[in-house]
Structure 1
Amino acid sequence: MQGHAHVASVDYTALDDHALVALVRSGEREAFRHIMQRCNQRLFRVARAVIGEDSEAEDVLQESYMRAYDKLDSFRGDSSLSTWLTTIVLNEARGRLRKRHTMVGLEQVDVAPDDTHQIIRFPSKFGSEDPAAFAARTQIRHLLEHAIDELPPGFRVVYMLREVEECSVEETASQLGIKPETVKTRLHRARRLLRSSLHDRLAGTMGEAFPFMGQRCARVTEAVMARLEAEATDA
């Protein structure tokens, strides 16, 4: 990689990935900032899915970006830039797991008996909401994040790529080095495990649903009392 060279008045947001890569290769380091900004969310989600923890996932992302910057000359464009970067992130994250000796025997998980439980599908996009709906969506998001965290690592990363990042079966299989059928199986079981986990979490709060307390209770009570008083006066 050549040294940094200033390029004036470049509209980075208007450039595609290949143009940004070309700028970085020519020495325009600022272009790499925009590559990171475009890819950060997907790459963090992938690292988080493998590592299972926020701060180390951020470390993985930083190290991966450093490796990617040094290896950018090897990017040939045979795949998308995000796919190329995802591979680097996966390798870095898995390397850390190996060092911690916490790799899961996924070959045993993959041959585990299946069942016919109903599968619940979770929407990955939401529309515009008012503040109350936004707060509710935030609570649902946290609930899902905790449930996803509890998935086996191999299921978690497949779920993250397929359901959250909406990658195709083929792209997910290629990224993870597994067969498309394995992707489908792991996704099916991830959904099933999430359904079970969320059911258990929600069951304990069913009795708290539709609370009739506070201002709502007072408002209705006072309205009824006022009507009763009015009827008594008319009688």
Structure 2
Amino acid sequence: MQASIHAVPVDYLALDDHALVALVRGGQREAFGQIMQRCNQRLFRIARSVIGEDSEAEDVLQESYLRAYRKLDSFRGDSTLLTWLTSIVLNEARGRLRRRHRMVGLDQLDAAPDDTHQIIRFPSKFGSEDPAVSAARVQIRHLLEHAIDALPEAFRTVYMMRDVEECTVEETAQLLSIRPETVKTRLHRARRLLRTSLQGTLAATMSEAFPFMGQRCARVSAAVMARLNAESTGT
């Protein structure tokens, strides 16, 4: 009796980005799902920093992934895959923002005094009605998210890329098409506004801001894969 042949499952988790790209180019669409899983957190945060709203940021992510999938052959590895995807997300998010409304000129924003932009002051202490540490951390995270949302968009995006996602000054400047000195200036002003708003340090909860894991992460990945499958079958 001839032994049945079973396909050996691919451990996508163990592969680096270049190997995953090669598999996708070779027709293994499932490898793109792993790419999304790796990049979702950072890309969602950056999209949201531009758009300022959760559901549209998810739409930006979906459209950006579809665009990236279709032009994956143009990825040459000159930068990291995450940097390449970030540029696509920024282009998509900014395009939507331009269509939504006309932005204040960035030159005017950069030249404005530090105290021009006022954002809401949040209390620095929690009430005694909820002593649970976990609940307090959630509340702090929400305060931080609201304070970041209140920043001017140009400052907000730089802040998210530098302090939350820990991009370098050079990478941030390149992706945003601004000078490194401008990155430093906007980050300094963003930090000052947040300090005024929050009246304290929230560094312990910084990594938890704008979470994109769990159901939300799975939903975006599943939606993109479904659209790619539909395109491949012509439905």
TM-score range, shorter chain: 0.7 to 0.9
Rounded Cα–Cα distance in structure 2 between residues aligned with 1:41 and 1:114: 30
Task: Please give the residue correspondences for 1:126-205 in structure 2 after superposition, counting only pairs within 5 Å.
Answer: 132-199=132-199
Asked if 1:92 corresponds to 2:92, the answer is yes
Paired position in structure 1 for 2:48: 48
CA distance in 2: counterparts of 1:161 and 1:35, whole angstroms: 20
Q: CA deviation at 1:66?
A: 0.4
Q: CA deviation at 1:28?
A: 0.2
Aligned residues: 180
Q: Which has the larger radius of gyration?
A: 1
**Distance of aligned partners of 1:150 and 1:114 in 2 relative to their CA distance in 1, 3 Å threshold:** closer
Query: What letter is aligned with 2:64?
Result: S
Secondary structure of residue in 2 paired with 1:166 = coil
What is the CA distance between 1:133 and its match in structure 2? Answer: 2.6
Q: CA deviation at 1:194?
A: 1.0
Q: Equivalents in 2 of 1:34, 1:99: separation in Å?
A: 32
Runs of 5+ unmatched residues, structure 1: 1-6, 116-130, 201-235
Q: 1:28 — aligned with what? A: 28
CA distance in 1, matches of 2:52, 2:114: 25
Distance in structure 1 (CA, Å) of the matches to 2:133 and 2:171 = 34
User: How far apart, in 2, do the equivalents of 1:99 and 1:8 lie?
Assistant: 47
- Deviating more after overlay: 82-91 vs 92-101: 92-101
Percent identity reads 79
Of 56-65 and 99-108, more deviation after overlay is shown by 99-108
Q: How far did 1:137 drift?
A: 1.4
- Give TM-score scaled by structure 1 length: 0.73
Equivalent residues of 1:17, 1:35 under 8 A apart = yes
- Calculate the TM-score normalised by the size of structure 2: 0.73
- Give the structure 2 partner of residue 82 of structure 1: 82
Q: CA deviation at 1:101?
A: 2.1
Q: CA RMSD in A?
A: 1.8
For the residues of structure 2 that align with 1:137 and 1:188, how far apart are their CA atoms? Answer: 25
Q: Structure 2: give runs of 5+ residues left out of the alignment.
A: 1-6, 116-130, 201-235
Give the counterpart letter for 1:55 in structure 2: S
